[in-house]
Amino acid sequence: MKATINNFQIDLSKPIDISISLSNTETNPIAWYIEKPVIEPVTFGEWIGKVSKGSSTNFNNIFFNPHGHGTHTECLGHITHEFYSINQCLKKFFFTAELITITPKNYNTDFVITKQQIQDALKNNTPEALIIRTLPNSNDKKSKNYSHTNPPYLVEEAAVYLREIGVQHLLIDLPSVDREEDGGALLAHKAFWNVQNITNLNPDARLHCTITEMIFVENTIADGNYLLNLQIASFENDATPSKPVLYKIIA
């Protein structure tokens, strides 16, 4: 089934899902020192909301953290004193996107993604959304416990560059665009959203822009241009589980 969206022709029958599913198993990825998600049936006395336990329906509660339990999309409300909701900030869901692959560079005891690496990979393209796949790119990313591992991250200069060339939506296969332990500096988050003061938001802060973390892009998916459908759940929260889906552009 072909369709034309934002003047691009795509085949809707061939979606490329780059999200990581959320489960209550040991294979669920984890970050930020929390435990795995909890998915369990509601109980009222002897009644258990599970068909195999005699109920007419399966009726589960789910306890999870969007930032630490899988693919999620966040708005600048993640770092501001005033409340901002991803459900109010993101009102459009289709974007031109560029997928690039980068091997983070060693910097002191860290591995980082630099402005120069992004510039070289983009080759002067200025997409609405940028998807960064990092190397090595193994299936471990879909089940890894990232806590206390100091994963790679973006340097501040790289995030400033993305803001300056007009990238509105940044997607990455890491638990954060910032260093795991940075004393609360959050330099890349602040630079990308142009947040200069977390308690008194500057008027040119980028309310409509998002960061999506903990995606997974299979090695079989080629770098290049795509149409991105950024699907979110309607949570009134700074972040929500999300399902970014790519489509190859036919014409």
pLDDT digits (tens, 9 = 90+) for 135-193: 999 999 999 999 999 999 999 999 999 999 999 999 999 999 999 999 999 999 999 99
Its pTM stands at: 0.96
pLDDT digits (tens, 9 = 90+) for 91-108: 999 999 999 999 999 999
Per-residue pLDDT band for 116 (boundaries 50, 70, 90) equals very high
Q: Kindly list the domain boundaries of the chain, sorted by start residue.
A: 2-23+66-248
pLDDT digits (tens, 9 = 90+) for 45-91: 999 999 999 999 999 999 999 999 999 999 999 999 999 999 999 99
DSSP state at residue 251:
-
Class of domain 2-23+66-248: alpha beta
DSSP state at residue 155:
-
DSSP letter for each residue of 178-221: S-SSSTT--HHHHHHHT-S-SSS--TTS-TT-EEEES----TTS
Cis peptide before 244 (omega within 30 of 0): no
Name the CA radius of gyration of the chain, rounded.
19
Distance between CA 66 and CA 62 in Å, rounded?
12
